[in-house]
Amino acid sequence: MIITIDGPAAAGKGTLAASLAKEFNLAYFDTGMVYRAVGLEMLLNGYELTDNEKAEKFAEQLTFPRMMELSKNPEFRSLNGSRAASAVAAMPKVRQALLEMQQNFSHNPVFADGSKADGAIYDGRDTGTVICPHADIKFFITASPEVRAMRRFKEYQEKGQDVDYKEVLEQTIARDKNDFARAGSQPAADAIHFDTSDLSISEVFEQVCKIIVEKQKTLEK
Ligand code: C5P
């Protein structure tokens, strides 16, 4: 079974995807990581975020082990790291270079220890449209920019990062504009939508689980 969860930053996709992965024995691919990895390579090597050629080179060379190594860097999920990810994600050749790595994951879904999973779950912006257009179930999760910015602000605070809410809200709006302007980042026509502004993640989880269980029954027939 292949499931995709798309939507804007801090809508709750990651938490939901990780819980669903556990519940249904699925291997989880957080696709934002590929762009964060390329963005961080640019920052670590001192290149301008407008340097398409360098970003493309890092995208072509990216491997899973390198991505996991970079993810341990505190800048990987910082405000700066997010800005860099969004900048390189806007480059069509970078997206193209990272496509195969993301698609291959669903061909043989395995956990980090190499054991076989019962399928794959993706989260990102274009996983139901570009990465896995033939996924069995597609979700589109959203929430208002204010709610999402407050969630990110609290995450930064918990990590001890010094940011102000206004800056996080501005970046949330700027990233939405940047991320959703490009082709493929609109919700898939067959995606099931959830607005998490007024729903807790456990409420969303319960509703989504019911949909998946129903779908599983039709797949088993
Ligand atoms: O999901 P996350 O916030 O980690 O993603 C970081 C950035 O990577 C996003 O702001 C977006 O620009 C980009 N992204 C993308 N397509 C995806 C996943 C992430 O363009 N499928």
> So what's the pLDDT on residue 220?
84
Probe ligand 1: pick from 35, 67, 71, 175, max atoms within 8 Å of CB? 35
Pocket lining: 9 vs ligand 1, CB cutoff 6 Å = yes
**Type of residue found at 132:** C
The CATH number of 2-216, from 3.40.47.10, 1.10.10.10, 3.40.50.300, 3.90.1170.30, is: 3.40.50.300
> So what's the pLDDT on residue 183?
60
What are the backbone dihedrals phi and psi of residue 209, each rounded to the nearest 5 degrees, phi first?
A: -60, -45
Closest of 189, 149, 148, 145 to residue 168, by C-alpha: 149
Q: b/e per residue, 191-219, with b = 16+ CB within 10 A?
A: bbebebeebeeeebbeebeeebeeeeeee
Ligand 1 mean position to 175 CA, how many Å?
9
Ligand 1 mean position to 82 CA, how many Å?
8
Tens digits of per-residue pLDDT, 63-102? 999 999 999 999 999 989 999 999 999 999 999 999 999 9
Pocket lining: 187 vs ligand 1, CB cutoff 6 Å = no
Residue 1 three-state SS: coil
Distances (CA, A) of 135 to 52, 57, 78, 195: 31, 29, 31, 21
> So what's the pLDDT on residue 180?
81
Pocket lining: 179 vs ligand 1, CB cutoff 6 Å = yes
CA terminus-to-terminus distance, the chain: 14
Residue 120 and residue 135: Cα distance in Å, rounded? 9
Residue of the nearest CA to atom 5 in ligand 1?
32
Contact 205/20 with Cβ under 8 angstroms? yes
> So what's the pLDDT on residue 178?
83
> So what's the pLDDT on residue 6?
96
Residue by residue, what is the 3-state secondary structure of 52-77?
Answer: HHHHHHHHHHCCHHHHHHHCCCHHHH
Residue 101 three-state SS: helix
Pocket lining: 172 vs ligand 1, CB cutoff 6 Å = no
**Which neighbouring-strand residues pair with 29?**
122
Tokens standing for 206?
């319960």
Residue located via tokens 């493309």: 56
Pocket lining: 87 vs ligand 1, CB cutoff 6 Å = no
Which residues of the chain are under the pLDDT cut of 50?
A: none
> So what's the pLDDT on residue 185?
74
Domain-by-domain residue ranges, the chain?
2-216
Contact 61/117 with Cβ under 8 angstroms? no
Residue 194 three-state SS: strand
